[in-house]
Amino acid sequence: MPSVTEVRYQVLDARFFVERRPCSAQLLGTAIGGGVAGHAPKAKTDKRRSRRTSRDTHTPQGGRSIRARYGWQRIDRPFEPMNQGTRPEELPAEVLDDVASVVGTEVTLLSRLSGGINEGAMRVQLAGGADAVLKAVPRAHPNHLGETLRAQRIVEHMRRRGYPTPAWLGVGATATHVWHLMEFADAAPATELTRSLVEQLMKIIELQAGQASEPYDHWSFAWRVVTGQESAVGGLVNETPEQSLLRESVARLSGYSSAVSALVQRLRLACADVPPPRVAPDMVHADLATPSNVLVRDGAVVAVVDIENAGSGTRATDLIALVWYTFEDPLLDGVRRRLWTRILDLVGRDGAVVLAAAQILLSLEWPIRLGRHDVVPGLVERGHRALDELNSIR
C-alpha cells in the first residue's frame, strides 16, 4: 500500500518538477523550482527547515475572498516599502516546509510585506543570503494551482521579452494553500500614480502587444460583465470561478441604490448593441494600474508585480485602468487625454465603452460587497464623469 505522500522527480527544462500524490490519488502539490536572484539586508529570525510530513488528503472547504484585478478604488491600509512588514508567524508551517523542499534549500521567514489589498506576501531569505517573496493563499477552487502555473508561464514568457516583472522561483501547493516564490525587488510600492509613472507604465504596456500566450481572455470577460450575457465569440467561455462569481455579483449591483441602478442602466444601454470582441493578441496584466503593484526607486519603475491574474486580450484593458486612477488627481487630467486617445486607436469607440463600463462596474462591486458605503457615491460620480469624458472625445 502506498505511503500517504509519494514524491516523484523528473527533470524538466533543467529544473525539478516535484509532484506529491496522496494515497487517494488527489493532487496535493505541484511545483517548479529554479534559480535564485536578488539580495537584501539580512535579518535575524527563527529558521524552519524542510521536513517530510504526512498531509491530509481532504479538499478544504470555502476559499479566499474574490478579488477582481481591474484597478479598484483603494480602500486598504497605507502603503509601506516592500522590505517592511509584520506577522510572519501567521504562515502555516506546512507551507514553508513545502517551499523549502521544492527549492531545495533552507527558507527563513523575515516579515510580512505590507501594501495593497493582498495580504499573502512574505519576505523570506534563502540559504546563501538571497531574499525572495513568498505569496501563499488558501485554495479557493480545484483549479487554483493550475491558474497559478498559468501565471508562472506568462511571467516566464514576458520576461524573455524584457517585461519588468520579477522571476518566479517556484510554484506549489499543500492541501490547504497555493503558493509561489519570486525574486525580491529592492524597491517600494508606489503610493500614488504620477504623470511620470503613468507615462512609464504606458511604455511598459506597449511591451504587451502581441504577447498573448495563454487562452484567458480579459476582453471577452469585460464584455460579458457589461452586457450580462453568458457567451462570447462562438459560445466559448473561458473564465475562472472567481470571474463567474464576479459577474453574478455585478448583476446584483442595481439593487444597491437608485443612484447605482441609474449608472448601471446607463452603462448597460451604452454597451447593448456592441458585439462580442474578436480574439485579441495582447498580454493583459489586469491590475497594472493599482499603485501598490508598481515598484519604484528614485521615481523610476523597477518592477510590476501581482501578475497572478494576467492573461490575454487587448492591452487597452490596462490603459483603461490607468484612466480610472487618473481621475483621483486633477494634475493627471492632461495625461488622461493621451490615454483615451491611445485606447480609441487600439479598440475603437465601442471597445473603449465596453472596457470603461467593465472598469466602472468592477470598481463598484468591491466596496459594495465589503460594505464600504462611504466610497460608493464618489465612485458613482466618477463613473458618470468617465463616460461623459469618453463621449466628448471626437
DSSP string computed for 326-379: HTT-GGGHHHHHHHHHHHHHHHHHHHHHHHHHHHHHHHHHHHHHHT-GGGHHHH
The type of residue at 56 is D
- How many alpha carbons lie under 13 Å from residue 6 in its C-beta half-sphere? 11
d(C-alpha 129, C-alpha 147), whole Å: 30
Phi, psi angle pair for 312, to nearest 5°: -120, 175
Place of cell 483615451: 340
pLDDT of residue 121: 86
| In contact, 350 and 251? CB cutoff 8 Å | no
The answer to whether 88 and 112 are in contact (CB under 8 A) is yes
pLDDT(148) > 80: yes
For 18-25, what is the mean pLDDT?
A: 30
Q: Which three cell numbers stand for residue 77?
A: 491600509
Among the listed residues 333, 386, 325, the one whose alpha carbon sits nearest the alpha carbon of residue 193: 325
Q: Which three cell numbers stand for residue 343?
A: 485606447
Calpha distance 366→153 (Å, rounded): 28
CA atoms within a 13 Å half-sphere pointing along the CA-CB vector of 269: 7
Read off the DSSP letter of residue 234: G
What's at 381, amino acid-wise?
Answer: E
Cα 150 from Cα 309, distance rounded (Å)? 9
Average pLDDT of the segment spanning 57-74: 32
Question: Per-residue pLDDT tens for 292-309?
Answer: 899 999 999 999 999 999
Q: Is the pLDDT at 344 greater than 80, yes or no?
A: yes
CA dihedral 88, 90, 95, 101 (to 10 degrees): 30
Confidence (pLDDT) at 8:
26
Q: CA 109 from chain center: how many Å?
A: 23
Residue 107 pairs in a beta bridge with 48, 126
CA gap 17, 27 in Å, rounded: 14
pLDDT tens digits, one per residue of 189-206: 998 899 999 999 999 999
77 has a pLDDT exceeding 70: no
According to the model, what pLDDT value does residue 211 have?
A: 98
Instruction: Give the residue with greater pLDDT, 24 vs 239.
Output: 239
Mean pLDDT of the chain, nearest integer: 78
Q: Give tens-digit pLDDT for 234-268.
A: 445 567 788 889 999 999 999 999 999 999 999 99
Place of cell 465569440: 233
